[in-house]
Each structure stands twice: as C-alpha cells, then as structure tokens.
C-alpha cells in the first residue's frame, strides 16, 4: 500500500470468521483496522474516532442493513470512503448502493488483497469527490462574495446620499444581533439575519433626495414612493436569494406590522419573517434615538415605552420582553 500514513478502516461485519480474516489480513497489509458487528455500533464508534474508510457487509443483522447504514454515513460523514460487501444474488442492491454513495463494492467471498485494493481505490474516489466539492464551495463562496460586495457598495452609496442612513444599517444590524443572540438563535439563521439587517433599507437608493430629506410631512404620493423601498430592496438583493433565501424575505417584509396593517403585502402575525419582526424593533430604536430634521434624539427609555405600547399592533408581543431584556446593550443615542 502506497500512502503517507496508514489508512484507518472500520469493518462492519456480523460474521466472526469474515471479521477475523479482514482484521488480520488488512493489518498485515499496513492498515489500522477496527471492527464492530452492527451498524449502530459503527455509528457510535465513528462519533468517537476518525476513520478514512468503512468496509461494510450489505446484509447486516441487528436492525439496520448495510444500505441504510451507507445512507446514514453519507449524511453524517460524507467524506469517509465506503466499500460495500455483498453476495452475488444482491448485485441489483449493490448497484443501488453505488447510486446511494458507495465508492466501491465487492462480491463475497473476496480475498484480503482484493479488499485492500478496493479500500485504496475507494479512498482515492472519496478524495477526488471531496476536492471537487471543495472547489465548488469555493467558487460558490466567491460568487456570493462578489454579489454581496456589489450590494454593500450600493449600501455605501445610499449612506453617502442620505446623512441619516449613515451607519444606520450597521446599528440596526447590531441591535438585531443582540436580540437574536439572547433568543439563542443558531449561527446560520443569525448570518442571514445580520445580512438582512444590513440591507434592510437598500431600496431607498431609488428614492429621490427631495423626499428622503423633506422636513415637513410627506404627501400621499411621496409616501407611496417611500413605501416602494421594501419591494425595490427585495428586487436588488435577488442575487443573494440563491445562497441566503431568507434575506430577500426579511428585506421585503421589514415594514409589515403584527396587526397586518403594514406594507408592502399587509401580512401579519407569524406570517411575517422573524428577522423582519426583530428588525422592526431595532429600526424603531435607532430611528427614535437619532437626531432628525424635525425632532431631537430621544432616550432608550422612550423607545421602551413606544415598543410596549405597540405590542400586538406594530410589534410582535413575544419579542417585546426580548427587547426589554437587551436594549441596555444597544448603542447609546447622542443626546
């Protein structure tokens, strides 16, 4: 065997004679070999030890057959090489096993040399599969970063265009993350939420400055232009939907209200994405705590009162206690 280090093989075989044959023979061939007699024990062993390859009988006893075991390994240990052993009458099943992700299969009885060759070949296939997947992930990540960088450039353009929005997106994202972390949200969802928060106002890039900077009340027509920023924003972030589909929903629905009186779609309650409901509170906090052309910044306690009074109407009532428990961690307003 030509390898820089001995491959670690786990044999899963309920025939003691077969097990001993392969244990002794593969060890003499230079492999590090372990053995169990059922699939459940194999899965437990694989949680504790790292293996390069699995050699498994198809007709395992003990509740889980080899084909089910293979599918489980492919989900939990996708880069482990897998060699299936099967009797001649089970060739159609073995073909299916190859389609399910086995790298090699051998007909019983097979000698030690044939098994050793199959394990090495399976490992090579697994390595090539891993490298192909790695390159695909890198290419996808590069494409995502290109799309995200382009959209972030638009955010920077928007923040240059509108003094108020300068750093607003970052502060809203920070406040949203503080609440999400307190709720125990997992990392993938927090990632989508953070990006959604950073991009929540991106649609305002299409709103004229005369409307964005207007000091008096907006006319009905001007208000309709402002309201379009949610759907325009969702359209702008479409390239991210392939990688982070929740971001587009968050951006579209961040002005929906719990009572269904928001925009653009008038949905309410739990139909509103959780990210949008959190951003609604964070956005309100930063808006009220910031100096505007028509009023000065207010205190965080003033926002707390606004959010409490809006529970069940504008805001998700279940998120109000989360805000109450975390708002003291939010960026302080410049009073």
Alpha carbons 155 and 115: distance in angstroms, whole number: 58
Sign of dihedral through CA atoms 43, 45, 51, 56?
Answer: negative
> Over 287-326, what HEC string results?
HHCCCECCECCCCHHHHHHHHHHCECCCECCCCHHHHHHH
List Cα–Cα distances, 265 to 193, 203, 249, in angstroms. Answer: 20, 16, 11
Q: Is 204 tagged catalytic?
A: yes
User: Are the C-beta atoms of 227 and 204 separated by less than 8 Å?
Assistant: no
- Tell the burial category of 280 from Cβ atoms under 10 Å away from its Cβ (0-12, 13-18, 19+): buried
Count of beta carbons in the 10 Å neighbourhood of residue 47: 9
Give Cα separations from 163 to 76, 158, 217 (angstroms).
50, 9, 19
Instruction: State the virtual CA torsion across 237, 243, 248, 251 in degrees, nearest 10.
Output: -80
- b/e 2-36 (16+ beta carbons within 10 angstroms → b): eeeeebebbbbbeeeebbebbbebbeebebebebb
Residue 119, token pair as written in the block: 């394990």
Give the burial string for 66-80 (b: 16+ CB within 10 Å, else e).
bbebbebbeeebeeb
Contact 158, 94 (CB under 8 A): no
Region for 62 from its dihedrals, namely left if φ exceeds 0, alpha if ψ lies in -120 to 50, beta otherwise: left
Exactly one of 132, 170, 204, 242 is catalytic; which is it? Answer: 204
Q: Which residues are catalytic?
A: 204
């Amino acid at each position: 065997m030509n390898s820089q280090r001995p491959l670690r093989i786990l044999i899963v075989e309920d025939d003691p004679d077969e097990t001993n044959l392969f244990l002794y023979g593969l060890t003499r061939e230079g492999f590090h070999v372990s053995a169990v007699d059922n699939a459940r024990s194999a899965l437990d062993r694989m949680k504790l030890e790292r293996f390069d390859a699995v050699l498994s009988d198809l007709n395992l006893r003990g509740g889980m057959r080899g084909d089910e075991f293979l599918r489980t390994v492919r989900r939990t240990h996708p880069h482990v090489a897998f060699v299936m052993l099967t009797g001649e009458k089970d060739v159609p099943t073995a073909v299916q096993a190859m389609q399910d992700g086995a790298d090699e299969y051998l007909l019983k009885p097979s000698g030690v040399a044939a098994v050793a060759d199959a394990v090495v070949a399976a490992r090579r296939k697994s390595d090539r599969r891993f490298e192909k997947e790695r390159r695909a992930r890198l290419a996808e990540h590069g494409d995502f970063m290109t799309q995200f960088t382009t959209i972030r450039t638009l955010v920077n353009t928007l923040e240059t265009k509108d003094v108020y929005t300068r750093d607003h997106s970052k502060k809203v994202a920070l406040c949203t993350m503080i609440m999400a972390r307190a709720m125990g949200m997992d990392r993938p969802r927090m990632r989508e939420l953070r990006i959604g928060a950073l991009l929540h106002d991106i649609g305002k890039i299409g709103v004229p400055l005369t409307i964005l900077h207007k000091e008096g009340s907006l006319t009905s027509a001007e208000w309709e232009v402002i309201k379009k920023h949610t759907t325009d924003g969702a359209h702008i972030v479409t390239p991210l939907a392939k990688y982070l589909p929740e971001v587009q929903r968050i951006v579209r629905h961040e002005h929906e209200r719990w009572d269904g009186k928001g925009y653009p779609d008038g949905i309410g309650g739990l139909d509103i994405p959780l990210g949008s409901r959190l951003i609604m509170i964070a956005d309100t906090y930063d808006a009220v705590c910031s100096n505007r052309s028509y009023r000065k910044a207010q205190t965080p306690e003033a926002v707390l009162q606004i959010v409490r009074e809006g529970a069940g109407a504008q805001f998700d009532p279940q998120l109000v206690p989360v805000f109450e428990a975390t708002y003291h961690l939010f960026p302080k307003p410049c009073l």
